[in-house]
Amino acid sequence: MKKHLIIADHSELVRRGLLSILKEFRKKFTFHEVNNSKDLLKMIKKIKEGVLIVDYTTEGFSINDLITVKNTNPKIKMLAITPYLNAQTIIEAIKSGIDSHIKKECSAKEILESVELTSKGRKFYCAGIIDQMREESIDINNIEAENFSIDKVDLSDREMQIIGQIAEGYTNAQIAAVLYISKHTVNTHRKNIMKKLGVNNTAGIVMYAVKTNLVKPYQFNFKYTE
């Protein structure tokens, strides 16, 4: 019996390109295409198991979709194929349930290998991602999926403003100047935000901003400092 393979990407060009590259797998998989998270969830509920190829950075999708898929159908293996991202976003994707991760710049050979291994329950990361992790002294083998909730957090409009500005790299002083409030007030908001989100550093705030689409993962590319 064939397994299912879902290609989830807003771009028809990307979907068609992947279908062309993966044509040799047509005897193994039944192929499906979706271009938004709503249709993805409908598809996930219909099938028992398979492989999801997803760009969670493209329009119509987010990291939250990875958590939804993981919670809805744990038998689905997830392979992310995205443009260049910073290491922290990739880590968050892995924690959210991604089994394998490659970049859209990868060769057709790497794409085929990643699908083959992911479908067998193995993990695959392209050379570019492995090198990126090494540069930031991150051991990709020690990153494990976590049990995430996507329940809404009770944040004020001001706190959401500040989260967005933190995610874009603004310092407390810069945020204070933009919002016409004191640095002390910004710092108090920051502490309250971290408490509500259950995080203890700036990276956690940034990842919340990515998950809630306040910013896109490719909008920033810097190492987080406290």
- Identify the burial level of 119 via C-beta atoms within 10 angstroms of its C-beta, where 0-12 means exposed, 13-18 middle and 19 or more buried: buried
Range(s) for CATH 1.10.10.10 in the chain? 157-219
56-65: pLDDT as tens digits: 989 999 888 8
Identify the DSSP state of 58.
Answer: S
CA atoms of 164 and 162, how far apart (whole Å):
5
Looking at residue 143, what is its pLDDT?
A: 65
163-190: pLDDT as tens digits: 888 888 889 999 999 999 999 999 999 9
Range(s) for CATH 3.40.50.2300 in the chain? 3-142
State the amino acid at position 201 in one-letter form.
Answer: N
Mean pLDDT for the chain overall: 84
Domain 157-219 in CATH 1.10.10.10? The answer is yes
Looking at residue 203, what is its pLDDT?
A: 72
54-102: pLDDT as tens digits: 999 899 998 888 888 988 999 999 999 998 777 778 888 888 889 999 9
Query: Is residue 121 pLDDT above 80, yes or no?
Result: yes
Q: List the single range of 2-11, 77-86, 138-147 with lowest mean pLDDT.
A: 138-147
Q: What is the CATH number of domain 3-142?
A: 3.40.50.2300
Identify the DSSP state of 55.
Answer: -
Query: Is residue 221 pLDDT above 70, yes or no?
Result: no
